[in-house]
C-alpha cells in the first residue's frame, strides 16, 4: 500500500522540486558500522549471514520513513512497507536479480528468500521478473570479497528512478569488533543526510535488542 504526499503542505516541497531538477539528484555515503552484536546473534542462532543481515538492514530501512518514499509520475509517494531486490551470484560468475518480500518473522523471510535464490541460480541472464523492478524495494548488493572505503552505485536518472541503493562489503574483525562496510545512495529530493543518519542509528539501536 502507498499514500500520495500532499506536496502543497509538505515541508520538503522546495527541496524536492530543487533537487529533482538536477541531472544527478542522488547523493551517497560510505561508512563502517559496528555489526558485532548482529553478527554474534546470527552466529548463535545458526542462521545464514547474508539473508539475516539483509533482513536486519531491511527492518531498519522500513523503520526510517524517508527510505519508504519514492517518486512516481513526478510526484512523491510513501509506501507502508518496502522490500528488497538483491543481486544473487551464480557459480558461472554471473548474477541475477531477485526479490525478497519483507516479513517481520526472520525465519519466514529466510525460507521465502531461499526459494528465490534457488530460482535465480537455476536461471540465466538477469532473471528479471515483475517484482525485481518494483519501486517499493531497496536495491541491494553484497560484496563479500573485500572491504571498501568508497563506492559508486549505478542509477537510471533519465527514467525518473528514485529507489535507494545499499551495498555491503566484507565483514572484518578488529580488536574483537566486527565491522561492516556500508554504502548508501539515495535521492536528495526525498531525503537528506539526517535521514541517512537515522537509518544508521536504527542499525546501532536494534543490535541492543537482539
Note the pLDDT tens digit of each residue in 121-154: 999 999 999 999 999 999 999 999 999 999 888 8
- Whole-number Å distance between alpha carbons of 147 and 72: 35
pLDDT score of 164 more than 80: yes
pLDDT on residue 153: 86
Across 146-165, average pLDDT:
86
What's the whole-number average pLDDT of the chain? 96
pLDDT interval class at 156 (50, 70, 90): low
The pLDDT value recorded for residue 106 is 98
Q: What is the arithmetic mean of pLDDT over 94-122?
A: 98
CB atoms within 10 A of CB 16: 22
Quote the pTM value: 0.96
Give CA separation, 62 vs 6, 50, 59, 152, 206, in Å.
21, 18, 5, 23, 13
Give every CB contact of residue 65 below 8 A, 6+ residues apart in sequence: 78, 195
- The per-residue pLDDT for range 25-77, each reduced to its tens digit, is 999 999 999 999 999 999 999 999 999 999 999 999 999 999 999 999 999 99
What would the mean pLDDT of 178-200 be, rounded to a whole number?
A: 98
92 pLDDT band (50/70/90 cuts)? Answer: very high
CA-CA distance, 22 to 37, in Å (whole number)? 40
Is residue 155 pLDDT above 80, yes or no?
A: no
Amino acid at each position: 500500500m502507498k499514500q500520495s504526499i500532499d506536496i502543497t503542505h509538505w515541508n520538503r516541497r522546495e527541496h524536492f522540486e530543487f533537487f529533482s531538477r538536477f541531472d544527478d539528484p542522488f547523493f551517497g555515503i560510505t561508512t563502517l558500522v559496528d555489526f558485532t552484536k548482529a553478527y554474534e546473534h546470527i552466529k548463535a542462532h545458526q542462521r545464514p549471514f547474508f539473508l539475516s543481515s539483509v533482513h536486519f538492514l531491511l527492518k531498519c530501512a522500513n523503520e526510517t520513513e524517508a527510505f519508504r518514499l519514492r517518486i512516481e509520475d513526478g510526484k512523491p509517494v510513501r509506501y507502508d512497507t518496502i522490500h528488497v531486490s538483491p543481486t544473487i551470484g551464480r557459480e558461472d560468475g554471473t548474477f541475477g536479480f531477485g526479490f525478497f518480500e519483507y516479513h517481520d518473522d526472520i525465519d519466514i523471510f529466510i525460507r521465502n528468500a531461499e526459494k528465490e535464490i534457488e530460482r535465480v541460480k537455476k536461471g540465466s541472464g538477469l532473471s528479471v521478473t515483475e517484482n525485481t523492478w518494483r519501486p517499493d524495494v531497496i536495491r541491494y548488493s553484497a560484496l563479500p570479497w573485500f572491504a571498501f572505503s568508497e563506492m559508486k552505485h549505478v542509477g537510471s536518472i533519465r527514467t525518473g528512478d528514485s529507489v535507494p541503493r545499499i551495498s555491503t562489503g566484507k565483514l572484518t574483525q578488529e580488536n574483537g569488533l566486527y565491522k561492516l562496510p556500508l554504502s548508501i545512495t539515495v535521492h536528495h529530493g526525498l531525503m537528506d543526510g539526517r535521514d541517512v543518519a537515522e537509518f544508521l542509528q536504527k542499525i546501532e539501536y536494534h543490535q541492543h535488542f537482539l
